[in-house]
Structure 1
Amino acid sequence: MKIKLLFFLIFFSIFCFGQTNILTETFGSTSTLPIGWVSSNTANGWNGNISSPSSTYSGFSAGANAIFNGTGANGAVHTLTYSNNLSTIGYNSITVLWGGRGTSAFTGVITFEWSSDGTTWNPVTYTYVQAGNAWDLVNSGARILLPAGAEGLSNLRLRWSAATTNLGNYRIDDVTVQGNCLSPPSAPLG
């Protein structure tokens, strides 16, 4: 019995099938953004937050979240960037999904982009409820497929941005990135 269990564990630790989680971010339980998440302006733009925890969608974490305050000079664009060595090497069909919540007064537009180098940003089309005042998965819960250029990168970067309107706020939580394994991971040489 023990040998069968050991074989099963070794086999499934070497091979992966279908979509595999590469990143899961629940934003923890404090009002500080986790390591790898950077806001261009934590006072008026994006910041960690513990109020209005995620709820109502499948897989919600109900902890902290990232909030776009959208205050200050109207039209000022603020960004929230994830750049923490998110490797997509050995994966294809990279997908992203997260929960979002805009207050009933929120009128801004949340832009989502990816980058291979942190300089050139590629916009991604998706749908979300702008001012629903309730948590829901973006894109009606369908995972957002990134183009082939997001595959095989040692540091895929993700960015959310919005311009200040001084009307309500928007939150994100439970960010997941998945990909299909191309081949079993190799052991380091040496």
Structure 2
Amino acid sequence: MSYYHALIERKFRDVAGSRYEQILKEYRDFIPTEEELQVPPVTSVLVLLDFFSGEIPEEVSGLFLTYRAPVAIVYLIDDQVMRVVTESLGRDSGIKFLEREESRARELVARNCALVEQSGVSCRSLVRTGVKGDEAQAQAGSCGLLVIGKKFGMTAGDNGDISPMVLRLQKAAPCPVVIY
């Protein structure tokens, strides 16, 4: 019998009986299961960056040393922003914007990858253009740990501490998530 099963049995011993399953379902959000408490082995780390997320802090770099798993740093350029720039300023401006954004992205991921590799952890980098939310979920589907900045995916209308896209990714990710 698991610890939590025993806890609920003791707590609701007089009430539980046949209602145990219902009580367990109702308290599921508040009491983690034993499976949720076990830390899964991290075999790969994915760091998602974009225009708003900026540099990876040193504290996060220390996390990479803990796991010693290969790190992939992926910079995502939002396709929708590209479309708006192209439609409002013209095709040439859209191409120039994309070139500048890709150049900035390559510099950022190269600089961050170099810092990760200095600590003795292997790192690869990638710059992708696409629908940011879909691309981020696709990338996160195969990693062991997702590391993401709280400003990732922000838009001009967002004024909260954590971007809605980060919250969505955190809920949908099949792996543990670190938000910095």
TM-score, with normalisation over the residues of structure 1?
0.31
- Which has the larger Rg? 2
Higher-RCO chain (CA-CA 8 Å, sequence separation at least 6) = 1
- Specify which structure has the higher proportion of strand: 1
- Specify which structure has the higher proportion of helix: 2
